[in-house]
């Protein structure tokens, strides 16, 4: 089995950096400017040419080049030695930790078979991004999408995907790394407060990495039109899955939501409250034949370890999607904690498995079904709602969520196993203190059901 070699280099000043080696060759380390890897020039115990690394996919070794201060491996001076996992190379005050990562001989390839390994890891992120992104060669991209519709900082705009409150989303291709990604770019007419929220989303996302979260890849917060690039989920979202297939059987919906709760547990442990969880904000990516849910859209998320976030949400503002908001979020959006997100996930699950809301009000799925059944020609769901005679003011809807008890899910689905119904209903309890204590506890309860 061949291996990718990663060397993590750190000095006594606490500065560290990593280098990745995949292509066979010799690499000289030392203080001289013409070395391949330059070590700290202010370290008196490092020679101009201190040692040479011999790298090949099936073996790696170091050979000493310094007469006065020989290179050490695991505390012992060496002339030449093969490297193993977790070996520590020492040159003066600099320590270099060896990481040998087993990889296939062609570790990134296009669907057509083209080897994209060199491009994919040209910025050193291929391993970190792992299963988060897809790769394609230029020829396949051009055959599939035609010429780019435009470019932004080297990213090819392939097609428009949609728009949200803060910006537009595009499918993009980065020819330098062969990655297919999604780009979110703020609109030109965005208000200053909206720009601040957009930049906040960038700062939150770039510190997160989890299989059940959308993955930040790149971005720009420049003066023109800020944007960020993220992994592209190719299979829609939980809302579109419900629209396409109807109410989702509980073994499937429970598993999708349990996996989403893995991601939610991760961000909660980072001190982040999402505050806008709903089926549309849980996107789906097909991986090895199954759908992997990924939480996205952190535009109104709040990080409790930073007071800056509080300044961006006014005392009387209410943000989020109404039917997925907890009573606490409606009454005090600024100060909601983890229990509010658990409620939102609970309503999402209720909706996915039943097609209905836990209150006496038509859901988007029910409205679409009504429009289809009655052969109505309408442009928006709100027009279908008027035909149903169910249009109400936002205030009336908010009051309903605050005052009315959620309808137990077994009244919607009498055949749902009792333990499964209890798992859903607990997440919707009026008091946040009576819900699950964590996303992990909610996740475990759902997995016990399937």
pLDDT band, residue 64 (cuts 50/70/90): very high
- Provide the pLDDT for residue 316: 38
Residue 79 known to be catalytic: no
Residue 30 DSSP class: E
- Dig out the tokens for 169 from the structure: 């989303």
* CB of 57 closer than 8 Å to CB of 66: no
On the question of pLDDT at 322 being above 90, the answer is no
Task: State the Cα–Cα distance between residues 67 and 438, nearest whole angstrom.
Answer: 59
pTM: 0.76
Residue with tokens 């849910």: 293
375 Cβ neighbours under 8 A, 6+ residues apart:
none
Residue 258 DSSP class: H
> Which stretches does DSSP call E strand in 195-315?
216-220, 227-231, 272-273, 282-287, 290-295, 302-303
- Provide the pLDDT for residue 306: 47
On the question of pLDDT at 428 being above 60, the answer is yes
* CB of 47 closer than 8 Å to CB of 66: yes
pLDDT, averaged across the chain: 88
Element spanning 373, H or E: helix 364-373
End-to-end CA, the chain: 37
CA neighbor of 117 nearest in space, from 2, 7, 210: 2
Burial class (CB within 10 angstroms; exposed 0-12, middle 13-18, buried 19+) of 181: buried
Task: State the Cα–Cα distance between residues 46 and 184, nearest whole angstrom.
Answer: 46
- Provide the pLDDT for residue 223: 63
Question: 170-183, pLDDT tens digit by residue?
Answer: 999 999 999 999 99
Among 276, 297, 341, 415, the one annotated catalytic: 276
Which residues make beta-bridge pairs with 285? Answer: 292
List of long-range contacts for 240-249, beta carbons under 8 Å, 24+ apart = 241/279, 241/284, 241/291, 241/352, 242/279, 242/351, 242/352, 242/355, 242/365, 243/364, 243/365, 243/368, 246/355, 246/365, 247/352, 247/353, 247/354, 247/355, 247/365, 248/352, 248/353, 249/353
What mean pLDDT is predicted for residues 225-232? 92
């Amino acid at each position: 089995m061949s291996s990718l070699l990663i060397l993590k280099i750190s000095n006594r000043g606490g500065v560290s950096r990593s280098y990745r080696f995949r292509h066979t060759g010799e690499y000289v380390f030392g203080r001289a400017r013409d070395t391949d890897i330059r070590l700290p020039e202010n370290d008196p115990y490092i020679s101009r040419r201190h040692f040479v690394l011999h790298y090949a996919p099936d073996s790696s070794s170091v050979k000493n080049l310094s007469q006065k201060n020989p290179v050490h491996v695991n505390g012992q001076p060496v002339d030449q030695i093969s490297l193993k996992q977790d070996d520590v190379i020492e040159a003066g005050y600099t320590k270099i930790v060896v990481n040998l990562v087993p990889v296939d001989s062609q570790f990134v390839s296009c669907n057509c078979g083209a080897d994209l390994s060199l491009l994919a890891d040209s910025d050193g992120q291929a391993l970190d991004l792992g299963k988060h992104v897809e790769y394609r060669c230029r020829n396949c991209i051009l055959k599939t999408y035609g010429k780019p519709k435009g470019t932004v900082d080297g990213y090819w705009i392939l097609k428009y995907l949609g728009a949200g409150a803060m910006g537009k989303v595009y499918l993009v291709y980065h020819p330098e790394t062969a990655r297919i990604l999604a780009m979110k770019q703020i609109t030109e007419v965005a208000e200053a407060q909206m720009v601040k929220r957009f930049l906040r989303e960038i700062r939150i996302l770039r510190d997160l990495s989890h299989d059940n979260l959308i993955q930040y890849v790149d971005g720009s917060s420049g003066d023109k039109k800020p944007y960020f690039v993220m992994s592209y989920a190719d299979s829609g979202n939980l809302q579109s899955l419900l629209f396409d297939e109807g109410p989702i059987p509980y073994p499937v919906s429970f598993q999708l939501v349990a996996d989403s709760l893995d991601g939610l547990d991760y961000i909660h442990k980072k001190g982040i409250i999402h505050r806008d969880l709903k089926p549309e904000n849980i996107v789906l990516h097909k991986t090895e034949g199954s759908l992997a849910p990924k939480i996205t859209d952190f535009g109104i998320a709040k990080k409790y370890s930073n007071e800056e976030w509080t300044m961006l949400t006014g005392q009387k503002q209410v943000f989020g999607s109404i039917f997925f908001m907890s009573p606490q979020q409606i009454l005090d959006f600024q100060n909601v904690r983890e229990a509010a997100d658990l409620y939102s996930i609970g309503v999402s699950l209720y909706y996915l498995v039943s097609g209905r809301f836990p209150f006496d009000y038509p859901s988007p799925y029910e409205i679409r079904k009504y429009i289809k059944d009655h052969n109505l020609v309408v442009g928006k769901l709100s027009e279908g709602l008027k035909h149903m005679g169910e249009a109400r003011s936002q205030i009336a809807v908010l009051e309903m969520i605050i005052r009315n008890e959620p309808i137990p899910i077994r009244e919607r689905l009498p055949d749902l196993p009792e333990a499964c119904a209890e798992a859903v209903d607990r997440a919707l309890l009026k008091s946040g203190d009576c819900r699950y204590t964590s996303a992990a506890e909610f996740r475990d309860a759902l997995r016990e059901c399937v």
